Amino acid sequence: MIPAKEAKEMMYRMLSENFISLQEIPKTPDHAPSRTFYLYTVNLPAAARMILQRCYKTVVNLIDRREHETRENKRLLEKSQRIEAIMASMQATGAEELQLQEIEEMITAPEQQQLESLKHNVNMLDSSENQVDETIFILESYIATTRIEKEPTQKR
């Protein structure tokens, strides 16, 4: 279990972000605070919609970040693609191993390291986007099923 102080902070944060709300249950009709119970309640469909909105924003941020990464390294990506195309055409024509090594050396070690880092970052962004997409699917399914359950059944 989490410590009481941390739990209070989490509850307050969730309350301030409208994930939970307070429900007053008075012991007496005058609603005096000393004679009233306060319970936390959760409106699950509303919370799911709020989380869904945050997921949409997250996907947009991930897409923007991936575009930024590729835009910042556009020159390096184009150079890498040109070298790969040259290597493929040279291999197709039966070039010697020495020629292929010379072409591979056109990308310096720091550029190769930067290219690997870029590929890793883009793969992480893609993976994150897939995970958020899965969460969006689950939330949309939940919201759709709660909407269907609330609708009255029609006579056939």
What integer pLDDT is reported at residue 153 of this predicted model?
58
Residue 58 neighbours by CB under 8 Å, 6+ apart: 132
| Token pair belonging to 145 | 């099923």
The sign of the torsion formed by the CA atoms of 130, 136, 138, 141 equals: negative
At 86-128, the pLDDT tens digits run 888 888 888 788 888 888 888 889 999 999 999 999 999 999 9
Average model confidence (pLDDT) for the chain? 91
pLDDT of 16 reads 95
Quick one: pLDDT at residue 156? Answer: 47
pLDDT of residue 17: 94
Dihedrals phi, psi of 10, to nearest 5 degrees: -65, -45
- Concatenate the DSSP letters of all residues of 65-134 into one string: HHHHHHHHTHHHHHHHHHHHHHHHHHHHTT--HHHHHHHHTTS-HHHHHHHHHHHHHHHHHHHHHHHHHH
Between CA 2 and CA 6 the distance in angstroms is 7
Mean pLDDT of the region 118-145: 97
C-beta of residue 59 within 8 angstroms of C-beta of residue 129: yes
Confidence of residue 78 (pLDDT cuts 50, 70, 90): very high
One-letter amino acid of 54: R
- This prediction's pTM: 0.76
Is residue 154 packed enough to be buried (19+ CB in 10 Å), middle (13-18) or exposed (0-12)?
exposed
Q: Which of 49-53, 99-103, 128-132 has the lowest mean pLDDT?
A: 99-103
C-alpha angle 120-126-127 in degrees, rounded to nearest 5: 90
Model confidence pLDDT, tens digit, residues 11-44: 999 999 999 999 999 998 888 888 899 999 999 9
